[in-house]
Amino acid sequence: MSSVNKKEIEKFSKIASEWWDPEGKFKPLHKFNPIRIKYIKENIIETFKLKNSSKPLLGINILDIGCGGGLLSEPLHRLGANITGIDASNKNIEVAKLHSKKHNLKINYLCTSPEKIKIKKKFDVILNMEIVEHVENVEFFLKSCSKLLKKNGIMFVATINKTLKSYIFAIIGAEYILRWLPIGTHEWEKFVRPEDLKKILMKKNMTLNKLDGMKFNIITDEWKISKDISINYITKFIKN
């Protein structure tokens, strides 16, 4: 069984060269990144009771699944974390390796999927950011991810809710009207409701610790954490 959706991998491989262009096809992710980094950092510090220094994540082992070109892996590594970034697209991994080498960053990038990864150690933190809506089988994917997490470890899952509002804003608005994303980036049928995510991960001894919405403010041109989970949302699960 595989969690890799070849059609989705091809889609992202075609635009892999644009990962680090803040004005390119991944522009929405560049705008999204500051709030994601802040949320992840603060929740790791709070859970593991770390000191909030210039390298607050020192010694924390993070697995970034569906890492793309390394947009999250690099800043978290700069905060002190040991990062392993995996992606099923070889082109994405090549871009990530090249960019980290250019900036003298030691990040372990691998072209693989969670069910095929050949690493025996378990991780303190697993990131599934904007990935579950692109995999072949969400339940199998999350089951494979949970096996890689230490007891009391954190798994962050950020995705898009399956609502009428998400269809209007995340697909019609973002892809067809505003052209923030290439048409066909998302399929509404693949969006995941928070309650479905919770049900799947409960079976894997994972407890939902936090559920927050993420909302774009057109006036300030930035993302913020919100109580509104009807479109984008982020969850924090802890392994029992």
Give the tens place of pLDDT for each residue, 104-124: 999 999 999 999 999 889 999
Tokens (6 digits) for 12: 């992202």
Residue 23 confidence (pLDDT) above 80: yes
If one counts every other C-beta atom within 10 angstroms of the C-beta of residue 178, the result is: 12
CB 33 within 8 A of CB 72: yes
Please, which residues have CB within 8 angstroms of residue 23's CB and are 6 or more apart in sequence?
none
Under the banding of pLDDT at 50, 70 and 90, the label for residue 1 is confident
Question: pLDDT value at position 169?
Answer: 82
Question: pLDDT value at position 52?
Answer: 78
Domains defined for the chain, CATH in brackets? 6-161+192-239 (3.40.50.150)
* pLDDT tens per residue across span 35-69: 999 999 999 999 999 987 899 999 999 999 999 99
Question: pLDDT value at position 24?
Answer: 92
> What whole-number percentage of the chain has pLDDT above 70?
100
Residue 224 confidence (pLDDT) above 90: yes
Angle at 136 between CA 95 and CA 233, to 5 degrees: 75
Q: What is the DSSP letter of 176?
A: I
Kindly report the average pLDDT of the chain as a whole number: 94
Question: pLDDT value at position 3?
Answer: 93
Place of tokens 């390119």: 24
* pLDDT tens per residue across span 164-203: 998 898 888 777 777 777 888 888 889 999 999 999 999 9
CA gap 222, 31 in Å, rounded:
6
Question: pLDDT value at position 187?
Answer: 86
Tokens (6 digits) for 142: 């999350």
Look up the pTM and report it.
Answer: 0.94
CB 142 within 8 A of CB 201: yes
Residue 14 confidence (pLDDT) above 90: yes
Question: pLDDT value at position 181?
Answer: 77
